[in-house]
Amino acid sequence: MTRMDDSDAAQVALVLGGDRDAFRVLVERHSRRLFRLAYRMIGNEQDAEEIVQDALVRAYRKLDRFESRANFGTWLYRICANCALDRMRKQRPEKDHREPARDEDLAAPGPLDTAPSEAPGPDRLVISAELGAGVRTAMESLSATERAAFVMRHVDGFSIEEIAKTLDLNIGATKNSVFRAVQKLRRHLEPLMSAAK
């Protein structure tokens, strides 16, 4: 059980009082969740780590603007989402220069791996690789706001109100962003799902 003096608000008060080490507690408490958001929005581990670092630096610099009656986690999550959205907007015009997966990257079993196993067979590995690539492509088709809203709603389980507050949208625009994201993903993934059956 967390004691009151270990709460986010107490840590923020310590940082504002001059205790720089108190911010480390906040970083440790929230960095994994921030990384998950950034990674799901961006799809690249290195970029996600940079986004988290940027978000934490911004939060530290703006800590004096944090209102203690607000939820620190939500405030920090909003900063991270905005950093990810900024990165996505900057990257959007650029073409994706990733190399396509090579056959040897699919990790198909070799001739010595013929013993019965509960691991998926080569056909399932290929289908999984195709579905994974399809999901990445479908996610890239979403606007930055749609992707953020979708991830927060359907991956992290945020309420529409929490998403609206985090992305600084009204409720109608938030619902619309989630709806459009689901519709676009469904259109992109439907052919792949039919083929996988």
CATH architecture of the domain with residue range 1-92: Orthogonal Bundle (1.10)
Q: Report how far residue 78's alpha carbon sits from residue 55's, in angstroms, rounded to the nearest whole number.
A: 9
pLDDT at res. 131:
62
In words, the CATH class of domain 119-197 is: mainly alpha
pLDDT at res. 91:
76
pLDDT at res. 134:
66
Nearest one of 114, 117, 181 to 143, comparing CA atoms? 181
Report the chain (197 residues): mean pLDDT per 10 consecutive residues.
58 90 92 90 90 95 84 89 87 50 44 47 60 73 88 87 89 94 87 65
pLDDT at res. 122:
62
The domain segmentation of the chain, as residue ranges, is: 1-92, 119-197
Q: Report how far residue 194's alpha carbon sits from residue 186's, in angstroms, rounded to the nearest whole number.
A: 12
Q: Report how far residue 157's alpha carbon sits from residue 36's, in angstroms, rounded to the nearest whole number.
A: 13
The single residue listed with the structure tokens 């950034």 is 38
pLDDT at res. 192:
67
